[in-house]
Structure 1
Amino acid sequence: MSTFNAVLARNAAGLSTADRQAAHSVAFSHYNNLSAQLPLDRTTGQLVAGGIRQQAEQCFENIRSIVESIYHSMDDVVRITIFLRDIADLATVNAVYATFFPVYVPALTAVAVHDLPLGALLQVEALLSNGEGTIPNAPQAGDLIKLARNTDSAPCSALSTQTVAFSHYNNLTAQLPVNPHTGVLVEGGIEEQAAQCLRNIKAILNSIDVPFDDIVKINLYLTDLADLPAVDAVYSTFFPDSAIARSHAYFPARSVIPAQALPLAARIQIEAVVSHGDGTPPQAVEDRHGIVIRTGRSADVPQDKLATQSVAFSHYNHISALLPVSAHDGKVVAGGIAAQTRQCLEHLQNITQSIEHSLADVVKVNICLTRLADLPLVDAVYRDYFPSATPARRIIGVASLPAGADIQIDAVLANAEGTAPRN
């Protein structure tokens, strides 16, 4: 019997999919990563008839089908991410969402994007706990407890939990620039909004006694990429947050994701994934202490002074967003979308190899495209790197990307060896 976690890719019987290059669910250690679900009718494989309510119901029904097919329940969902074509549809989607989570509510992110596959009005993805773990034939650590927690020091919502911890990770609800005392957007411009998002994240972490520098991945949703320099100026005042982090120049892995619109007409929304060294009971004491954050950088991949290429904690590696730019001159590679896709995936392969892993360890891939019509060309290259179509996947259309690129890719990797204490 193996004593190591295994990547476990599964598909729900009878569930149609528009993405032939991805598994419905990819489990590793104590998490299941689900591919984003479109509102496809199970029997026809076509978009369900009707408007936003019918499409939302179908997306969540598809998620429930996947969850139940792997012997879990919707109460095991840790995070839900909703991508919309029109932010005005969010109220209707929220009403549907609430029927699938009538008591417990997971961490939540909602964002409008430029386009979605098949012209769908929305797409929904889920991150699921996996209490049995993925060591073959060997349940891990018993029935782990999910910890859902809120604080009045950050904005509260009946639709989401501020932070949901399971095993060695905390997943935070995406934070808008809302003053928790007034419940409205802060006054001022992008600098004030960025600072408020980060203060809200810090308040949540303070409430659960987790240091700010335990953040391993940040997703920045921006309605205007021209705001990024101003956001970065604020961001660099929050990271690094401690003397130890400053001595190592530690920044979390990061992805900047263009949004068409955000709730409350905000200009920015920030989502965080946080390490949780204490774990969640009933993990044994020896499993809960001394796990370290381990960073990785490849000299063959362009560097970002505000993001670490690979941040590993426990059994996962989080990879920053990768653009199709050359490590030699920082320019987007020539040759169209196929060449750009190959460059992104070469960067991903170089990073994984630099930390002594391979692309077979990838459990989730997230792709942003400026033209969804390019997806067949992207997939033709993608198959060279992922011939078994194992990773879960998410694809969204965006209006533009940094550096004028046409594609951006980030990923989550399995980390079978974990991150044990170092001498």
Structure 2
Amino acid sequence: MSNYNAISAKNIANAPQGKGVYSQSVAFSHYNNLSAQLPVDPKSGELVAGGVKEQAGQCFNNIKAILESINHVMDDIVRVTVFVKNISDINAVDEVFVPFFPGYLPARTVLAVAVLPMGALVQIEALVSHGEGTIPNAPQTGDLVKVARNTQNAPRNSVSTQTVAFSHYNNISAQLPIDPTTGEIVAGGIKEQMGQCFNNIKAILESIDHVMDDIVRVTLFVKNIPDIEIAKEVFTTFFTGYMPALTAVVASALPEDALVQIEAVVSHGDGTPPQAPEDTRNIVIKANNTDNAPQSAGSQTVAFSHYNHISAQLPVDAKTGEMVTGGIKQQADQCLKNIKAIVESVDHVMGDVVKINIALKNIEDIDAVDEIYTTFFPGGIPARRIIGVSALPGDALIQIDAVVSNAEGTPPAA
């Protein structure tokens, strides 16, 4: 196994600590997964004084401190996700955001959620390129480059790039249901808006010689909980070969007062230079499902290259198809058991997980969740994100999805 990538988890004193429950940065292969950063002063452990601008600045300063500790810079970020309490604060956040990226603009997702930990007004997470890789004592192609691109056939945004590729993944900025010819939200309801979001993603993919079936993960951000099932139905109509991993999140508000926004992670088999296309373009997507976890509209796990993407898990018992009884601890336990069953079905273990995303109906349940969480992750290794949402499918209290390392990679097509 000496020639395999290894998980590299790190914490520093210059950014807020995770109380041993999560790591600030978890690198694997050519990506670093950073835990979502709250506007916490690492010296005091408290939220910084001021409004959303001061809080956004602290979030970015925390991210910058983490990156500098691992010999990276802000321009190594390929995707930023901004969670705000109030959607009206986006313009103020943008004023802070732009100066941190003088070289180029990463892919980006922005949404408002019901509540954030500690009562924060903003929380920001970042996905970072890691050109040197994580094979122990064996730096890889450190000169890999990002390829950031835009097309006129999809909506343009002055503070983000439509797609940023690095190594074997493309990261697509979350797409709103905007007609690129008019710059306006399309008429109609959730179905029409879903269709426009996916058409925008399709246009971006075609501009970089990719297709919809190259998508490995889709995240639906939906304004109204009743629309989630409709959104999932529309989702299935856009994929002909297989179903990507899928997560659906209820947003309290979306930019432009949209009903839905869609984010996509895309395989990039040809890699970014100096990887030679003829050497790598045949890496394949491997989707898998097991009867030991609940079935859903998306594949339970989709592996590509050195990552596995796990669909969001609700606290549903796979045998009965019903929500488990009990409170938040029982539900958190069931979500993590479902993830464990999926991970084990592809010959991996929970120690291979590099990132966990948690949506909670009640943000005050964090401590109770952590009591269960630490039994699955005693080393506190994965990076983590927690948001509070107004509702979850089935009136669940919690939903969890995961990104898992895949040391063996996926093979070239025969």
Q: TM-score, normalised by structure 2?
A: 0.98
The aligned counterpart of 1:303 is: 295
The aligned counterpart of 1:193 is: 193
The aligned counterpart of 1:291 is: 283
1:325 aligns with 2:316: yes
The aligned counterpart of 2:39 is: 39
How many Å separate the matches in 1 of 2:334 and 2:259? 30
How many Å separate the matches in 2 of 1:231 and 1:331? 21
The aligned counterpart of 2:380 is: 389
The aligned counterpart of 2:157 is: 157
How many Å separate the matches in 2 of 1:217 and 1:19? 30
Kept in 1: contact 2:14–2:66 (CA 8 A)? no
Kindly provide the CA deviation profile for residues 205-259 of structure 1, in whole angstroms up to 9, marking residues without a partner as x: 000001110000000000101112332332222122xxxx1xxxx1000000010
How many Å separate the matches in 1 of 2:141 and 2:211? 25
Secondary structure of the residue that 2:226 maps to in structure 1? helix
Letter in 1 for 2:14: G
1:419 aligns with 2:410: yes
1:259 aligns with 2:254: no
Identical-residue share of aligned pairs (%):
56
The aligned counterpart of 1:76 is: 76
Kept in 2: contact 1:142–1:283 (CA 8 A)? no
User: Does the C-alpha gap of structure 1 residues 90 and 19 become closer, same or farther in structure 2, counting only changes over 3 Å?
Assistant: farther
How many Å separate the matches in 2 of 1:289 and 1:195? 29
Moved more, 283-292 or 134-143: 283-292
Kept in 2: contact 1:141–1:284 (CA 8 A)? no
Kept in 2: contact 1:195–1:234 (CA 8 A)? yes
How many Å separate the matches in 2 of 1:20 and 1:402? 30
Moved more, 222-231 or 391-400: 222-231
Letter in 2 for 1:31: Y
Kindly provide the CA deviation profile for residues 64-86 of structure 1, in whole angstroms up to 9, marking residues without a partner as x: 11111100111100000000000
Secondary structure of the residue that 1:238 maps to in structure 2? coil
In the TM superposition, 1:95-244 aligns within 5 A as 95-240=95-240
How many Å separate the matches in 1 of 2:409 and 2:246? 21
Calculate the aligned-residue CA RMSD, in Å: 1.2
Deviation at 1:18, TM superposition (A): 5.2
The aligned counterpart of 1:340 is: 331
Deviation at 1:421, TM superposition (A): 2.1
Letter in 1 for 2:294: P
How many Å separate the matches in 1 of 2:145 and 2:345? 34
Letter in 1 for 2:398: I
Deviation at 1:19, TM superposition (A): 5.3
How many Å separate the matches in 2 of 1:89 and 1:21? 30
The aligned counterpart of 2:267 is: 275
Deviation at 1:296, TM superposition (A): 1.5
Kept in 1: contact 2:64–2:74 (CA 8 A)? yes
Q: TM-score, normalised by structure 1?
A: 0.96
How many Å separate the matches in 2 of 1:81 and 1:376? 24
In the TM superposition, 1:57-72 aligns within 5 A as 57-72=57-72
Structure 1 stretches lacking a partner, 5+ long: none
Q: Determine which of 392, 400, 407 is the counterpart of 2:391.
A: 400
Kept in 2: contact 1:142–1:282 (CA 8 A)? no
Kept in 1: contact 2:16–2:41 (CA 8 A)? yes
The aligned counterpart of 1:370 is: 361
Deviation at 1:140, TM superposition (A): 1.2
Secondary structure of the residue that 2:336 maps to in structure 1? helix
How many Å separate the matches in 1 of 2:51 and 2:162? 30
Letter in 2 for 1:26: V
How many Å separate the matches in 2 of 1:236 and 1:131? 34
Paired positions, count: 414
Kindly provide the CA deviation profile for residues 81-108 of structure 1, in whole angstroms up to 9, marking residues without a partner as x: 0000000000000110011113300000
Kept in 2: contact 1:331–1:403 (CA 8 A)? no
Q: Determine which of 303, 306, 314 is the counterpart of 1:315.
A: 306
Deviation at 1:362, TM superposition (A): 0.2
1:410 aligns with 2:401: yes
Secondary structure of the residue that 2:148 maps to in structure 1? strand
How many Å separate the matches in 1 of 2:302 and 2:19? 28
The aligned counterpart of 2:351 is: 360
Letter in 2 for 1:278: D
Kindly provide the CA deviation profile for residues 188-207 of structure 1, in whole angstroms up to 9, marking residues without a partner as x: 11111110000000000000
Kept in 2: contact 1:17–1:40 (CA 8 A)? no
Structure 2 stretches lacking a partner, 5+ long: none
How many Å separate the matches in 2 of 1:262 and 1:149? 24
How many Å separate the matches in 1 of 2:276 and 2:5? 18
Letter in 2 for 1:393: R
